[in-house]
Amino acid sequence: MKPGKPNSAHLVDVEKPAAADVSGGRGVLVEVFRVGACGTDREINNAEYGTAPDGEDFLILGHENLGRVVEVGENVTEFAPGNYVVATVRRPCGSSVYDKIGEQHFTTDTEYFERGISRLHGYMAEYYVENAEFLVKVPNALAEVGVLLEPLSIIEKGLKQASDIQERMKVWRPKTAAVLGVGNVGLLAVMALRMRGYAVHGFGREPRDGYLNAELCEAIGATYDSTAEISVEQSTEKYGQYDLIFECTGFSPIIFDAMQSLNENGILLLASVTGGDRKTDQVPSDKINQMFVLGNRAMVGTVNAGREHFEMGVKDLALCEAMHPGWLGRMMTHKIDGLENFARAFDILSNAGKYKAIKTFIEVKRPGRESPV
């Protein structure tokens, strides 16, 4: 697509890359199996943001990815042809100290480099090449659901930040969590929290009956309530105040409701990239401020993810498949066959309610061979 030009997604012929394109013998050529499509892709295609690589006038989209290794450079020992891999998204091309220490997901640069989003081509392609540093191995048994790993990595980073921050108390034994918004990302948060043993309460706008997302919450041992019937704050009368709240709705005013629903010492994680200019003045600021001060509550944003968060995600996917076989597969509601049908992905993303879509993804090419490891 052409950044800055709405609805400009189109197909282009590009040269097939080679492992040797990456210096130091650390290149890995990957054949793309599936690419997820999400709100970020929709917003880039709407020209809300997105930047082409320097000197080019188009950006190859796609950051939620899963592929199979075809060729490795001479200094790659950790991958072999046939392995399934997911590539991380942000690259350390900036000048902040976090870019220099390999923690570019914490960059303080305002111009960052993300494949498929900002200044670097993405994975909606038949092949891509990447330095082995930025690839994470996915076991063959998870190939069918592996494209969920990138969105899950954002959740994992949030949960890692929560546990790091909560070390301030020496002892933190969280029991209950609320997840606000049970779309694709919210459901992955419900799953990751259930895998950690939390009592999880999911919230969405839709009525419960006949709503697949609500059914998936309940199928994994969480509850589901519609905020049309009960606000998050009112729900604390039923479930008690929450030790952890994960906000994944994209509707920013709900954070004030969430701030009033946290337990003492509780933590609120914010994951929605709200690009709009919504404002709200219905905020009981004295009450919220006092609750945060007197209750040592905390709130933190979470974006992008590093290798360790992808690796945490692989473990949660595996545990979830073992405990609830087929649950992750049920999230993958809309498969699009072939890159040439990419326009359908944008149609589904723009009308997710009508299509009842949870995860929409493009199957670029189903790999034929079996993996050696």
Binding to ligand BGC (CB under 6 A) within 54-73 occurs at: 63
Q: For the chain, how big is the Rg over CA atoms in Å?
A: 21
Give me the least distance between CB of 15 and ligand BGC, in Å please: 26
76 binds ligand BGC (CB under 6 A): no
Minimal distance, residue 207 CB to ligand BGC, in Å: 28
Least distance in Å: CB of 135 to ligand BGC? 15
Kindly tell me which residue out of 17, 34, 35, 40 binds ligand BGC, with binding defined by CB under 6 A. 40
Q: Which residues are registered as beta bridge partners of 203?
A: 180, 225
Nearest distance in Å: CB 179, ligand BGC: 17
DSSP β-bridge partners for residue 178: 201, 245
Identify the CA nearest to 301 among candidates 230, 232, 246. Answer: 246
Between 64 and 225, name the residue whose CB sits nearer to ligand BGC: 64
| DSSP category for residue 210 | T
Interface pick for ligand BGC out of 29, 38, 52, 189 (rule CB under 6 A): 38
As to burial, measured by CB atoms within 10 angstroms (0-12 exposed, 13-18 middle, 19+ buried), residue 77 is exposed
In the complex, what is the shortest distance from the CB of residue 190 to ligand BGC, in angstroms, rounded to a whole number? 18
- In the complex, the smallest distance separating the C-beta of residue 12 from ligand BGC, rounded to whole angstroms, is 22
Pick from 76, 152, 154, 217: which binds ligand BGC (CB under 6 A)? Answer: 154
Instruction: Give the H/E segment covering residue 213.
Output: helix 212-219
Tell me: does residue 114 bind ligand BGC (CB under 6 A).
Answer: yes
Q: Cβ-count burial of 290 within 10 angstroms (0-12 exposed, 13-18 middle, 19+ buried)?
A: exposed
Give residues with Cβ within 8 angstroms of 279, minimum separation 6: none
The answer to the question of residue 161 lying near ligand BGC (CB under 6 A) is no
Number of residues that bind ligand BGC (CB under 6 A): 12
- The verdict on 304 binding ligand BGC (CB under 6 A) reads yes
117 binds ligand BGC per the rule CB under 6 A = yes
Q: Does 247 bind ligand BGC (CB under 6 A)?
A: no
Nearer to ligand BGC, 182 or 185 (CB): 185
Query: Which of 165, 283, 303, 319 lies at the binding interface for ligand BGC (CB under 6 A)?
Result: 303
Is residue 359 a contact point for ligand BGC (CB under 6 A)? Answer: no
- From CA 209, how far away is CA 229, in angstroms rounded? 13
The answer to the question of residue 275 lying near ligand BGC (CB under 6 A) is no
> Could you say whether residue 89 binds ligand BGC (CB under 6 A)?
yes
- Which tokens in the block code for residue 186? 């919210």
List C-alpha distances in Å: 210 to 180, 215, 334: 19, 8, 18
Q: Which of residues 28 and 148 has its CB atom nearest to ligand BGC in the complex?
A: 148
CB of 151 to ligand BGC, least distance (A): 6
Smallest distance from the beta carbon of 90 to ligand BGC, in angstroms? 6
Q: Judged by CB, which is closer to ligand BGC: 117, or 232?
A: 117
From CA 65, how far away is CA 128, in angstroms rounded?
Answer: 11
Cα distances (angstroms) measured from residue 293 to each of 69, 138, 257, 287, 288: 51, 43, 17, 10, 9
What number of other Cβ atoms are within 10 A of residue 349's Cβ? Answer: 21
The Cα diameter of the chain in Å comes to: 62
From the number of C-beta atoms within 10 Å of its C-beta (0-12, 13-18, 19+), residue 268 rates as: buried
Instruction: Choose between 122 and 266: whose C-beta lies nearer to ligand BGC.
Output: 122
Rounded Cα–Cα distance for residues 71 and 74 (Å): 10
Structure tokens at 5: 């030009």
With respect to ligand BGC, which residue has the nearer C-beta, 20 or 273?
273
Which parts of this chain interact with ligand BGC (CB under 6 A)? 38, 40, 63, 89-90, 114, 117, 150, 154, 273, 303-304
